[in-house]
């Protein structure tokens, strides 16, 4: 069972996205795709006069920003990806967490930061999800969930991938891949040759304290360690070329 999350500049670069989806389509067996789309949402927000706010890689989402991310994530990006997967003979269906009550969340309650309409995942509808997979459907999840009371919530796509992987680990040996434009987690963000081949929690804590790892990589790695501790078999971070080449340089996450 493979769960692939794509983000970063892959979403914004049509050639990279097309190649990534072609690589994804060649994966045999059950698989799920999860996508972000933060840069597109930021551009759209700025074009209508909104000022995006991020804290440690997580977007502050007021009511106006929520309208933007729902439109971009669940609409434009999700349906374009589904259409391209169909062109690659992959029978994909696009979902938000609200569809089929697949992912229910609760509004984040932080002691000092008001994240707005941001959700933390509470429950995955594993019965429906496994039925979809057994029917040969390839689910494509965007970064939108719901609270079960009619409210949509912006939810970190890395977290969605992690929670899906954890939920499915009771039924499958799950491999989770985080794909972006870089070859892996880097010692030096400006040097693509500085890939950290293996990261454990001790090294992660050290690099985070030194600010060598920051921004959106923090929630990604937090989710990785949480997933491994809850039954996910294998996690790798790197360029989408690793989907078809086991020898590709990338970062492997270990406890």
- Nearest CA to 105 out of 90, 123, 88 is that of 123
Q: Is 59 annotated as a binding residue?
A: yes
- 8 Å CB contact between 179 and 6: yes
Does the annotation list 38 as a binding residue?
Answer: yes
Q: Are 129 and 97 in contact (CB under 8 A)?
A: no
DSSP, collapsed to helix, strand or coil, labels residue 179 as strand
Its sign, for the CA torsion 103, 98, 177, 41, is negative
Q: Does 119 appear as a known binding residue?
A: no
The answer to whether 245 is a known ligand-binding residue is: no
Decide if 51 contacts 115 (C-beta within 8 A).
no
Q: What is the 3-state secondary structure (H, E, C) of 4-63?
A: EEECCHHHHCHHHHHHHHHHHHCCCCCEEEEECCHHHHHHHHHHCCCCCCEECCEECECH
Annotated binding-site residue numbers for substrate = 37-38, 59, 154
- Residues comprising the binding site? 37-38, 59, 154
């Amino acid at each position: 069972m493979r769960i692939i999350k794509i983000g970063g500049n892959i979403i914004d670069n049509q050639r990279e996205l097309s190649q990534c989806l072609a690589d994804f389509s060649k994966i045999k067996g059950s698989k799920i795709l999860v996508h972000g789309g933060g840069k597109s949402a930021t551009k759209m927000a700025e074009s209508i006069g909104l000022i995006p706010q991020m804290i440690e890689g997580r977007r502050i989402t007021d009511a106006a920003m929520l309208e933007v991310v729902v439109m971009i994530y669940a609409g434009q990006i999700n349906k374009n990806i589904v259409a391209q997967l169909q062109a690659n003979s992959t029978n994909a269906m696009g979902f938000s967490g609200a569809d089929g009550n697949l992912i229910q969340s609760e509004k984040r309650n932080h002691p000092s930061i008001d994240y707005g309409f941001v959700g933390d995942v509470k429950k995955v509808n594993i019965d429906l999800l496994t039925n979809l997979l057994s029917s040969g459907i390839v689910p494509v999840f965007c970064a939108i969930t719901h609270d079960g009371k009619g409210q949509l919530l912006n939810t970190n796509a890395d977290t969605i991938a992690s929670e899906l992987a954890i939920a499915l680990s009771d039924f499958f040996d799950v491999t989770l891949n985080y794909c972006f434009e870089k070859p892996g987690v880097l010692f030096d963000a400006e040097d693509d040759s500085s890939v950290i081949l293996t990261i454990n929690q001790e090294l992660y804590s050290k690099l985070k304290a030194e600010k060598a790892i920051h921004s959106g990589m923090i929630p990604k790695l937090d989710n990785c360690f949480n997933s491994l501790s809850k039954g996910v078999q294998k996690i790798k971070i790197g360029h989408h070329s690793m989907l078809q080449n086991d020898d590709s340089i990338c970062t492997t996450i270990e406890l």
